[in-house]
Amino acid sequence: MAEDWGLYHKAAGEGNKKVDSRQGIGLFRTFLNFGETPVIPLRFDKLGGLVPAVVQDWRSGEVLMVAFMNAAAWEATLRTGLATYWSRSREELWVKGQSSGRVQRVREIRIDCDADTVLLKVEQVGDAACHTGHRSCFHRRVAGKMLETVGEPLFDPREVYGR
């Protein structure tokens, strides 16, 4: 599957800033012939319709972020090869990086023993996954009673998000 996504990512174009998820869906169906429904069932019932998704850099193994998926987000991720979540704050499907271009190309998916959590190994376009500009959302380390920041931001969020 990872190889098929590789083809998909290539076909979709490495340099696209904006991702058209409908176009991606069409391309991906051509490769994998996935149906309309998720082929790998998950236990969405244990957390009010959601499962946590851990996102890991596919090469370095660095944990970049954790987000949540509902059934539609899971189905879209399987279908398009682009990490898609459920935004709890905006209450909508969220193709990660859709506005900034910093999408996550899924290279491998793991399911845990209880089928209530997924692990995505992704290629993070633009290197940084965090809205702060840091590579990982987990850039703060517990140091005694304090938190210390690890590393420097890779981009200025004001330039990318206009705030």
Binding site for a second copy (CB under 8 A): 1, 32, 34, 39-40, 46-47, 52, 54, 56, 60-63, 65-66, 78, 88, 108-114, 117, 119, 130-132, 134, 136-145, 147, 150
Please, what is the minimum distance in Å from the beta carbon of residue 81 to a second copy? Answer: 11
Please, what is the minimum distance in Å from the beta carbon of residue 93 to a second copy? Answer: 19
- Closest by CA to 64, choosing from 107, 29, 20, is 107
Please, what is the minimum distance in Å from the beta carbon of residue 146 to a second copy? Answer: 8
| C-beta of 26 vs 149, nearer to a second copy | 149
Please, what is the minimum distance in Å from the beta carbon of residue 18 to a second copy? Answer: 24
| C-beta of 11 vs 40, nearer to a second copy | 40
| C-beta of 20 vs 108, nearer to a second copy | 108
| C-beta of 144 vs 162, nearer to a second copy | 144
Q: What is the DSSP string of the chain?
A: -HHHHHHHHHHH-TT-SS--HHHHHHHHHHHH---SS-SS---GGGGTT-EEEEEEETTT--EEEEEEE-HHHHHHHHHHSB-EEEETTTTEEEETTTTTS--EEEEEEEE-TTSS-EEEEEEETTS--STTS-S-S--EEEETTEEEE-S--SS-HHHHH--
